């Protein structure tokens, strides 16, 4: 995820996600996280924005959604979704690592199916740790990795500890 994939690959991936999201609605996955109205949520590696509308429903008007991706088309898609659905609480961030968000400003960070592509995974985990509030939740899923690999890589630097394993996600709590 250090450099954006080609526009063709991004569009092809986005097309495939439409079928995935129809067969397995993103709301079902997000229910495992425990997101509440008023939460500030960072969708790290947001891609074409599959989680934006369900997140908006969960956080409500008093919440905030930050959608970060390195690919400009991802940012454009999320901005289009936010505009079309009149979601004034969605902010996009085009970046490969740094969020630009204040320390301890996010209740939940979701990192779904992006970790395996990161060459600077340690830097990303440090950034997520920095922006998460005390006892903030890192919701993690990556179908390219097995359970042992996920738990060891996320907890290796003592930034997070495994809190709960759901059906499709792992919840890690911020340490320190």
Residue 111: which region, alpha, beta or left (left: phi > 0; alpha: psi -120 to 50)?
beta
| pLDDT digits 0-9 by tens, 10-56 | 665 666 666 565 666 678 889 999 999 999 999 999 999 999 999 99
Residue range 68-121, pLDDT digits in tens: 999 999 999 999 999 999 999 999 999 988 999 999 999 999 999 889 888 889
Percentage of the chain beyond pLDDT 70 is 88
Q: Which helix (H) or strand (E) holds 167?
A: none
Lowest mean per-residue pLDDT among 7-11, 43-47, 144-148, 155-159: 7-11
pLDDT digits (tens, 9 = 90+) for 116-143: 888 889 999 999 999 999 999 999 999 8
Q: Cα–Cα distance between 146 and 165 in angstroms, integer? A: 13
Beta strands in 22-63 (DSSP E): 40-44
Of residues 1 and 149, which shows the higher confidence score? 149
pLDDT of residue 20: 60
Query: Shortest CA distance to 132 belongs to which of 97, 91, 173?
Result: 173
Which pLDDT does position 118 carry in this prediction?
Answer: 87
Q: Which domains does the chain have, with CATH numbers?
A: 7-174 (3.40.50.150)
What does the mean pLDDT of the chain come to? 90
170-174 and 160-165 beta bridge pairing: antiparallel
Give which of 141, 154, 139 is closest to 114, Cα–Cα. Answer: 141
Q: Where do the DSSP E strands lie in the chain?
A: 40-44, 64-69, 90-94, 106-112, 132-141, 160-165, 170-174
pLDDT of residue 1: 44
- pLDDT at site 29: 87
């Amino acid at each position: 995820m250090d450099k954006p994939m080609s526009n063709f690959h991004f569009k092809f991936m986005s097309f495939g996600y439409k079928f995935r999201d129809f067969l397995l609605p993103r709301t079902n996955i997000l229910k495992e996280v425990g997101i509440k109205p008023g939460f500030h949520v960072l969708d790290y590696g947001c891609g074409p924005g599959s989680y934006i509308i369900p997140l908006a429903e969960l956080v409500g008007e008093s919440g905030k959604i930050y959608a970060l991706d390195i690919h400009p088309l991802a940012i454009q898609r999320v901005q289009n979704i936010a505009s079309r659905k009149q979601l004034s609480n969605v902010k996009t961030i085009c970046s490969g690592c740094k969020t630009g968000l204040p320390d301890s400003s996010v209740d939940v960070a979701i990192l779904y199916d992006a970790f395996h592509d990161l060459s600077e995974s340690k830097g990303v985990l440090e950034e997520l740790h920095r922006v998460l509030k005390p006892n903030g939740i890192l919701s993690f899923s990556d179908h390219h990795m097995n359970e042992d690999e996920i738990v060891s890589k996320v907890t290796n630097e003592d930034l997070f500890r495994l809190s709960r394993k759901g059906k499709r996600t792992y919840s890690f709590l911020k340490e320190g």
